[in-house]
Amino acid sequence: MRIGITDLVIIVVYLVGVTLFGLRYGRKQHSIRDYFLGGRSAPWWALACSIVATETSTLTIISTPGIAYATNMAFLQLVIGYLVARVILCIILIPQYFRGEFFTAYQLLEKRFGPRTKSAAASIFVVTRALAEGVRFAAIGKVVSVAMGLNDRMSVAVITLLTLIYTFEGGMHAVIWTDVMQFFLYIGGSVAAFFLLLHRIPLGWAGVTHAAAAAGGKLRIFDFHFSLTQSYTFWSGVIGGTFLTMASHGTDQTIVQRLLAARNERDSKKALLTSGVIIFFQFALFLVIGVMLYAYRLHVPFAVPQNDPDRLFPEFIVTQMPVALAGIVLAAIFAVAMSNASGSLNSLASSSMIDFSRARGGVIDADPKKQVRRSRQWTIFWGVLLGSFGMIHWGPVLVAGLTIASITYGSLLGTFLLVIWNPRSTARGAIAGMVAGLIGMTAIHFLTPLAWTWYVLAGTIITFVTGSIVSMSGPCETRGRESSAEFGAEAST
């Protein structure tokens, strides 16, 4: 074991405490509206914290400092695109989601194109989310193996089981409010690490800036030269980050579910915009910590296990932080892991329950209790599957997670833009566009040097153009055969 008994007790108390905290919401689950949308009762500020906690993963906390340690702070250019995308989504997409009683993002496609297109889009989501969440779960193993010397698979299994318990019982109520608690915990832990580093580096911030300048400008953010093969430039960051976030926050059920859980359209927009401000300062903090770790190691060398930058921050926590503070920061990292896992489990269960049940010819049972029971069964299924994916070796976790999502996000975003911007688009065109986008992006990933930050833009263009052409060239179709707004009303009764 790497950490002391005091730190271990803090971590165990946290894990048990957050599980019990989530369980207390079990009695509020009377219908799938409660289970998947939290009864639309959460305030906008809680949803903003939940969005940030969901968007922030263990791989973000441990890998972002590693990026700045190895290179510089250019990753922050991507975060500027995250802000731009939120403004665009508030204008073009959120109003669409509040024109009916939607449980998932893909019911918007059903309203226009019918259930086949909805199921196709939902299929892309569940596969992408399952794989991407597998990468996030793998990041948990890295932290626990550094902290406790335990087997990666065992650590993944423990975190998955605890998260599954309260997500299964408490639904979206538990997800949102545990997210809020976990958000404040990991932000507090990260700020504590910042001030500890600042105190221990000779000359404080002046020592950091001197070390960063001597290393070739580690505090440098902007790179204005244009490149399709370099991941972190101003143009790939702002443009690529905008399209990446339009897809992740506008078409990925994990985030959209929180937007749908708002009391009204105005609260949904406030939550999304506020989360953008928080996320910018959060990424800046993680990147600065990476630069500070570089400066600190010049004076106090400590080992990086397996020469893996992803293990740098956990190693610092375990070997350099005082007793108790190390336990709190490690608990904060576990908090992020559990927040991600709970959100993904609930969103995957909601998409499986809502988006596939009708496609296979079934009808969601009108009995609310049976609806909730079936939803919990889907939660168990995805919990077991995601835990299994987390035991796979994925390599550098942050880039792996973003790359997986970026390959498929373009197909989803392009299809949603067909709904909004092309009134002549058809279901046949939408599905053809999705297929072309997936094939095209798979080819681009394996056959070209295009930087992953451009993937969503490329996939969106392929999907939108192909869908538009096929829609114009094919026979006229009857659109919107089934209204997902009507379906949402039926499901909530």
Instruction: Give the CATH number, domain containing residue 87.
Output: 1.20.1730.10
Q: For residue 47, what pLDDT is reported? A: 95
- Is 297 within a domain? yes
The total of structural domains in the chain comes to 1
- Taking each helix axis from N to C terminus, what angle separates 152-200 and 325-355, rounded to the nearest 10 degrees? 130
Q: For residue 480, what pLDDT is reported? A: 45
Mean predicted lDDT score pLDDT of the chain: 83
pLDDT, tens only, 109-121: 888 898 889 888 9
- Is 405 within a domain? no
- Is 284 within a domain? yes
- Is 431 within a domain? no
- Is 416 within a domain? no
Domain of 193, in residue numbers: 5-395
- Is 10 within a domain? yes
pLDDT, tens only, 417-433: 998 899 899 999 999 99
For residues 463 and 434, the answer to whether their CB atoms sit within 8 Å is yes
- Is 104 within a domain? yes
For residues 406 and 452, the answer to whether their CB atoms sit within 8 Å is yes
- Which residues of the chain fall short of a pLDDT of 70? 1-2, 26-28, 137-152, 305-307, 357-366, 389-402, 474-493
Q: For residue 486, what pLDDT is reported? A: 39
Q: For residue 159, what pLDDT is reported? A: 75
For residues 25 and 18, the answer to whether their CB atoms sit within 8 Å is no
pLDDT, tens only, 354-381: 887 654 444 445 677 788 888 888 888 8
- Is 298 within a domain? yes
Q: For residue 53, what pLDDT is reported? A: 87
- Taking each helix axis from N to C terminus, what angle separates 455-473 and 241-250, rounded to the nearest 10 degrees? 70
What span, in angstroms and rounded, lies between the C-alpha atoms of 235 and 398? 20
What span, in angstroms and rounded, lies between the C-alpha atoms of 347 and 260? 12
